[in-house]
Structure 1
Amino acid sequence: MNRLYHYPLSPFSRKVRLSLAEKKIEVELVEERYWEQDSDFLRRNPAGKVPILKLGNRTMADSAAICEYLEEAHPTPALLPKGAEARYEVRRIVAWFDDKFYKEVTSMLVGERVFRKVMGTGYPDSANVKAGSKAIRYHLDYMTHLLDQRRWLAGNEMSLADFAAAAQLSCLDYISDVDWNRSEIVKDWYAKIKSRPAFRTLLADQVPGFPQPRHYADLDF
């Protein structure tokens, strides 16, 4: 059986979940408390991170590598464009959200507000929360700049870049940390992504101790 070892509010897990669902590859979701460093989990991925994807006899780790594999092994529907320049732009924006956005925003807000409690590592660091709340405004403005020029983040076709961004923002939206009034164009973009069938399982996620806000699963938020 195909399985994805994940954690609901891991944006990297969510990016892979979106790619799998868009390509209609069915997997069993197995929630993994990866910070506990279970020995079976570490045998699957010595790096101790989620997601881990098991497809048939193959076990794969690292969300970027998994998404690239899925694109090559299951090219339809395509999440990477054909041309080298267009592919570069998708990969650039994926890296922006996987690296810069995650470090400056998601790790500061979801990391402090959710994971400290879940992992039992103490109370949120208010300085980190403040820094994340400031940084997200810059990133929303950058997304506005991109979407002013294009239909989607990396071009005129939806791509893995949009899934990478939506994976991060959906985690933040779960804890009501996105000011959707800051940019109408970003809100409209997110509404389009959120309405896709691939997004349905993300909207059904429940994290114990952190109930969904009312707007989270609302397509007309």
Structure 2
Amino acid sequence: MWLLYQFPLCPFSRKVRLLMGEKGIGYELVRESPWARRDEFLDMNPAGQTPVMVDAAREGAPLIDSMAICEYLEETVERNAMITGTAENRAEIRRLVAWFDGSFYCDVTGPLLHERMIKRLAHRASPDAKGLREAMKAAIQHLDYIDYLLDHRQWLGGATLSLADLTAAAQISVTDYLGGIDWKSHEQTARWYRGLKSRPSFRPLLAERMELLSPPSHYDDVDF
């Protein structure tokens, strides 16, 4: 059985969980707050970041970094491959995964997590209104790009569901939990996201809650 060290609003852990759900891989969650800098966790990953995945059935080095974990799962579990197609198609999927994990996280998800979660839990401080406004403004621009992709493709990475969709959904789900998305002007993206939310792999994520933080009422509604 795999042990996945994570916390409920870690978008990178959510990406791994969505992939494992699509592939039908069993796992057990281990709650880890990386801002606490717990010694035992730092021994596994000195960078102190989630997710970290460990095979409880055998001794071995932990798997670290969400993309490294996803590539490992793609290489070792043939069922429901999520990086598929021609070499060009696979490159596009990886490009989008890097974009969501990089640009989207740095501009939107990361600042919202810092202001609305980490400040409250780790520092007992209030969020900065300017930082929140900038993150929500960036979210509009990023969702405009998703709308553009969906105007030209059935799924973000091409004709079929891929790791690009799972990565985007993981980031968006955290942003949505934190109240950072105005869905009214992005019906194309909202339609795509409703489809992702209705998948069995997504349901466990929607049921989870972070202490001291409640999501908007539409968060777990697949027909929002």
Normalising TM by the smaller chain, what interval?
Answer: over 0.9
Give the 5 Å matches for 1:45-64: 45-55=45-55, 56-57=57-58, 58=60, 59-64=62-67
| Distance across 1 between alignment mates of 2:124 and 2:163 | 33
* Of 135, 147, 151, the match for 1:148: 151
| Distance across 1 between alignment mates of 2:189 and 2:15 | 18
Deviation at 1:114, TM superposition (A): 1.5
Deviation at 1:101, TM superposition (A): 0.5
- Indicate the SS of the match to 1:198: coil
In structure 1, the partner of 2:15 is: 15
Q: Could you list the runs of 5+ residues in structure 2 that have no partner in the other structure? A: none
Deviation at 1:121, TM superposition (A): 5.6
| Distance across 1 between alignment mates of 2:177 and 2:132 | 16
- Are residue 113 (structure 1) and residue 116 (structure 2) matched? yes
1:67-100, CA deviations, whole angstroms, 9 ceiling, x for partnerless residues? 0000000121010113110000000000001000
In structure 1, the partner of 2:94 is: 91
In structure 2, the partner of 1:82 is: 85
- Indicate the SS of the match to 2:26: coil
| Distance across 2 between alignment mates of 1:32 and 1:147 | 35
- Structure 1's consecutive aligned runs of 4 or more residues displaced over 3 angstroms after TM superposition are none
Residues paired across the two proteins, number: 221
- Are residue 25 (structure 1) and residue 28 (structure 2) matched? no
Greater shift in the superposed pair: 174-183 or 143-152: 174-183
Letter in 2 for 1:84: A
* Of 57, 69, 72, the match for 2:75: 72
Letter in 1 for 2:9: L
- Indicate the SS of the match to 2:9: coil
Greater shift in the superposed pair: 101-110 or 117-126: 117-126
In structure 1, the partner of 2:164 is: 161
- Are residue 40 (structure 1) and residue 40 (structure 2) matched? yes
- Identity over aligned residues, as a percent? 47
